[in-house]
Structure 1
Amino acid sequence: MATTGERLKQWWDRTRKRLQNTYRFIIMNNDTFEEVGSYRLTLMNVYVAASTIVVLVAILVVLAIAFTPIRRYVPGYGQGGDGRREVERLYREVDGLREQLNAQREYSESIKRVLIGDYETAEEVESQQLEVGADTLAEVERSPEEEQLRQELELQEVGQAARQGKNVSFSPGDVPLEQMFFSPPVTGEISAIFMPDKKHYGVDVLAPKNTAIKAAMDGFIFFADWTLETGNTIGIQHANNTITFYKHNSSLLKKSGSYVKAGEAVAIIGNTGTLTDGPHLHFELWHKGKPVDPTEYIKF
């Protein structure tokens, strides 16, 4: 009985003989049976040729991955430094967009509170300051919302002025209101005076139907839209940290982002919104984030 070693030797001898056997590979014309070509082959030659082709294909694939952009699509391969820098750049962009979105959200909330009257009066702020210790008065002079609103409005005004090529100065607000000139938005009888204790932060002025509402000063329109309580409303940002609002209009003549001159028509008097009981203009004058009585500076 043959041992395992003898059987392996016999198998190897048979395999070697097969590999060394010579075969003829003939190519013939199928119609005429004419011999086109004849080649002598061995199994060893076939194995060597097939192995060579596989190795060459493997080398080409490796070179293509290593020296062409295809490597970016191979998981776990590529230039780690470039990928990390790209991720860091995208992260910075996303972080910047997040900050802009938060600033815009705070700005919108501040404007919304101004429009619906949900804000603190000067008397309320002063009473709160008296309750706080003297050493903390400097910390409560300006709320974060007010500071954010002021910065957003100033940046928006400067950017719009630059895009439109207008030479408009929006100073930090050192000029007293008494030294500023306001054009009356409309001429008529005042039906409701400035009453901050009742959250009425402006004056109501009666005027004939279809009367044009005019801008009190030069400035940029930062709000021109409809709200439930104030109807068609216009908000204009002026120099010296001054804002004016024109509410309850029947229609608006200007859009947000427009630049208007003093005395230029911006709306038509009306009776829109829930907080009104007849055609009139509700006019508000704000300075440094606080409402002031318009009748002290404008003759209606």
Structure 2
Amino acid sequence: MPQTTSGILYIVPTPIGNLGDFSTRAQQVLSDVAAIAAEDTRHSRQLLQQFAIQNDVFALHEHNERERAGKVIERLTNGDSIALISDAGTPLISDPGYVLVQQCRAAGIKVVALPGPCAITTALSGAGLPTDRFTFEGFLPAKPQQRRKTLSALLDEPRTMVFYESPHRILHTLNDLHDVMGAERTMVLARELTKQFETYLSGSIAEVLDQVAADSNQQRGEFVLMLAGAPVQEESAADDLAALRTVQLLREHLPLKKAAGCAAEIHGVRKNHLYQLALDADNT
């Protein structure tokens, strides 16, 4: 009996707003596969109908993914190719799909991810903030205490930070950013990307908060918040020399690592940086 060739799981991005961003390749894949796994079948069927894509669509979302992944794997193993889509943008980016893709990889089933619309990269490319390094934090916690705790843990993060936020929490989140990160930290708020009322608001957290609070229209839609990273503290040569002298004095009584840690705390410099300076001094 001939061996069945496994199908392919396609990860297919869909428009985040502007339908012109729906690639020809994405449309072709969705037409050709045996079935489409969608986060919300009613929402996705409307999109597919606009592009005359007639195909079987079934639900795969955060509440049933673990339950249904096995059946999808079975279909793929038997030769059916299946496409995974989310409500908008690239699947798995703050959307379901991780469990299914992980199981496909474990089973040796081919996974093909198509490039396409994604709110994170779209927002960052138009924000004017550093993009050489950034961290995506998804949606912040809904509860105020947990949200502020999460933000406090990111206070010293040097990379640009990216968050998603919903309209009913946008003012609460901006107020928490103001209180935790400080009024003067630079940020950019991107709203309704690729849609008719696309907006970028930029400035200090206080300035963006004032603009959103003053205009109810700016409290509607889908949001990407981008926050400048914390400034990196550069140790001066004079600070280094003073801290290194303290290390040398402490080494008369303590091991080098402990001495460097104590001296770093005294002088307000980084422990690893000071430890390396002391090692370099030993080798000269």
Normalising by structure 2, we get a TM-score of: 0.24
Q: Which structure has the highest strand share of the two?
A: 1
- Asked which structure has the greater RCO (Cα within 8 Å, sep 6+), the reply is 2
